[in-house]
Structure 1
Amino acid sequence: MLLSRQSVASLDAGLWDKPGVYVLVGTIAYGEKTEVRVGQSVKLKGRLESHVRSPPIPWWRALAVIRDTTVGFHSAQIGYIEGALADELRARPGIKLFEGKRDADTTLPTYERTALDAFVQTILEALKIVGVSLLSPANEGAEEEEISKPGATHTRVAGTISDLLSAGILSAGDGLEASQKNRTTGETRLAQAEVLASGQLRVDGVSYSSPSTALTRGLDVPAGNGWKGWKVAGTSTTLADLRDRLDTPAPDAV
């Protein structure tokens, strides 16, 4: 629910004093970072009321989220959403994040985290509605390109992570690995990613739409080809190998 600071008192305590997550939104001004605070509480209305009395940031609007079911969220679930959401917002250049958790709780089973990730994406979309700029990190979402040889024109290769998920070639929760050796020091950098149901890759708590952006963030390198750099965990199969299967016809039945 999107609400103003003044309307917090009118929330139905029977409905809203339950486990949930919130985002406080500060002043939105063109060309300036928007201050936000992410938090969670087992009694959401009470926590929001405390922030009205003693605001942690100068906020005027808030987004409050509970689960509209008989069971509702439990504390581990709202802790996971808080951490994952804070990680997402921390990576956005137009956001100044206050007091968000540093890490998403990864102790929950993969299937449960995958379901909770949908709430994170919904919250991000709701923040866009109120005018919060959620520009992604540099190059995020850019189309993948491969270069056949120096000086050649760029060739765009069809296929996305979502296509691999739809085809059943990848599944949400699958792990990916990448590594790169520093030729000077001999040190090998390692990175891990998790495939999300949204078609994104999550690296160190942050979700990326572009495999190459996820790779460069994970390995902390200036550039890289994510389709060739990411491999299915424990194998030598790259994302590019999996993408090739999209265009490979199934063998005739014998």
Structure 2
Amino acid sequence: MPLLEVQHLQKVYTSRFGGRQVEALQNVNFSVEPGEYVAIMGESGSGKTTLLNILAALDRPTAGEVFLNGKALSDVRERDLAAFRRSHLGFVFQDFNLLDIFSLRDNIFLPLVLAGRPYEEMERKLKPLAEQLGIADILNKYPYEVSGGQKQRAAVARALITDPQIVLADEPTGALDSRSSDNLLELFGEINKGGQTILMVTHSVKAASHAGRVLFLRDGRVYHQLYRGSESREAQFRRISDTLTVLTQGGENHG
């Protein structure tokens, strides 16, 4: 059974003035298997952010349904959504979303604190994560005292510490320099090899070439997808670039 299933998703926004309707998503269908690493790409306005917000249960679709492990997100009551997100989803954002008033350790602990977990359990979960992510020696520092790459590693630790069913990453390399970006992508690869399912929205061809599958959105629809298979990262990079060229030139789906 797919871990994530998206069926006939539609999202229509009505502008505040004049009541003009904008269809951000139209009949989007795809699924993600357990342990997959999927990237979503598309031009600005293609519906990537809208889709991610719906998958994250931050927004509701106008029509259609999202199932996570067979459970319809529409069945989760509004008052239970925050707890549902904490229990099932991990988030990695472009701008890290770390709180400067907390140390890295306390930022990472935050979802477990909100879930009422005991301190001993939090420490037990953090130790192997911090070592894997290379941040064990900076946990007592504050976000403003560390580099962008270190902040993003702390954000990844915060996403993983709840043992989420799926990690949703929104432009995770967007605020990083080239070296930190490469390091993070290698890290995502390792985490995925360990069995973690990842869905990443990105505009970076390099980032997308690390994924096992790339979905391309255009005008609110799934336009095309590429499986990496046994292809090298370099070959997948070229295929993604070629597809984006066709996408931006308005060509037809070339299969």
TM-score of Structure 1 vs Structure 2, range by shorter chain: 0.3 to 0.5
Q: Which has the higher contact order (CA 8 A, sep 6+)?
A: 2
Q: Higher helix fraction: Structure 1 or Structure 2?
A: 2
The structure having more radius of gyration, on CA atoms, is 1
TM-score (structure 1 length as normaliser): 0.32
